[in-house]
């Protein structure tokens, strides 16, 4: 497997109903679980949003200014499906942000696409109107289809991040180095409990490695240290990051 699309397709063939991402927010008691199929549907919708609404194309860059959240792996997958480079640059071609990023990115909405996620349960819209020019993901994403086929699909050599190609995401040696930096070392089928941000290195590997190894992740935002052992046991996790 050398591209994100190939890896996801393989997991859909292997066991489409298994949990892939389980998300907890200890501040709100929210819990969301995405199976491989549900995750793929969200990736397809987000891919359509990035191309049809934000007008992004293969080779362009996307900044993900999001906290640890289940939408982070969704937009990672969408970016790599389209062939975008996920960047930490302050000069991206587009940005996906949460409520805390509006003050930074809303003033630039006239120059680049700014897609904002409310981070409310079920990915719903913002309760209050957004600044002019900012796109509400909770509004725009629902009109996108559940399937997506890139008209110019990326190759293994396309940049996935500022320093990794798509093929590097599924290179086990690279995974081992990056997940070790994040405090984890996984084997095939592991279920990883993580409090790291999958939208930024080295936390990105805490999503890509479970996906590539046929495993899953349990992502906890605003973690309560007193509750993490209970989540680990309840979710039958096998590793931590």
The set of residues, in sequence order, having a beta carbon less than 8 Å from that of 115 and lying 6+ positions away, is 49, 50, 53, 54, 94, 95, 96, 97, 134, 135, 137, 140
Beta strand segments in the chain, E:
19-25, 30-35, 61-65, 85-87, 94-97, 114-116, 135-136, 191-194, 216-221, 239-240
- Whole-model pTM? 0.94
Structural domain boundaries of the chain?
4-240
pLDDT per residue, tens digit, the chain (241 aa), is: 699 999 999 999 999 999 999 999 999 999 999 999 999 999 999 999 999 999 999 999 999 999 999 999 999 999 999 999 999 999 999 999 999 999 999 999 999 999 999 999 988 999 999 999 999 999 999 999 999 999 999 999 999 999 999 999 987 555 555 544 444 567 788 999 999 999 988 899 999 999 999 999 999 999 999 999 999 999 999 999 8
Which pair of structure tokens corresponds to residue 73? 């792996």
Which pair of structure tokens corresponds to residue 20? 């892939």
Based on its alpha-carbon atoms, the radius of gyration of the chain, rounded to whole angstroms, reads 17
Distance CA 151, CA 83 (A): 11
Distance CA 53, CA 132 (A): 16
The domain made up of 4-240 has a fold known as Rossmann fold (3.40.50)
Report CA torsion sign: 50, 150, 164, 25. positive
Distance CA 191, CA 209 (A): 10
Number of residues that this document lists for the chain: 241
């Amino acid at each position: 497997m050398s591209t994100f699309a190939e890896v996801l397709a393989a997991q859909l063939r292997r066991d489409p109903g298994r949990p892939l991402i389980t998300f907890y927010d200890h501040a709100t008691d929210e819990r969301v679980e995405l199976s491989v199929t549900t995750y793929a549907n969200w990736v397809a919708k987000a891919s359509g949003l990035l191309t049809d609404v934000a007008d992004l194309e293969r080779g362009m860059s996307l900044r993900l200014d999001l906290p640890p959240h289940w939408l982070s792996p969704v937009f990672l997958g969408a970016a790599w499906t389209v062939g975008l480079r996920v960047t930490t640059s302050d000069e991206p071609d587009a940005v996906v942000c949460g409520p805390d990023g509006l003050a930074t990115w809303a003033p630039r909405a006239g120059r680049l696409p700014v897609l904002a996620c409310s981070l409310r349960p079920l990915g719903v819209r913002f309760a209050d109107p957004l600044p002019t020019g900012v796109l509400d993901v909770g509004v725009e994403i629902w009109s996108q289809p559940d399937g997506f086929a890139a008209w110019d699909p990326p190759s293994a050599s396309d940049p996935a991040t500022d320093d990794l190609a798509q093929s590097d995401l599924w290179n086990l040696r690279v995974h081992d180095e990056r997940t070790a930096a994040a405090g984890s070392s996984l084997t095939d089928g592991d279920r990883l409990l993580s409090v790291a941000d999958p939208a930024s290195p080295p936390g990105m590997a805490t999503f890509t490695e479970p996906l590539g190894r046929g495993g899953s992740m349990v992502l906890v935002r605003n973690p309560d240290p007193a509750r993490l052992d209970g989540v680990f046991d309840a979710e039958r996790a096998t590793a931590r990051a």
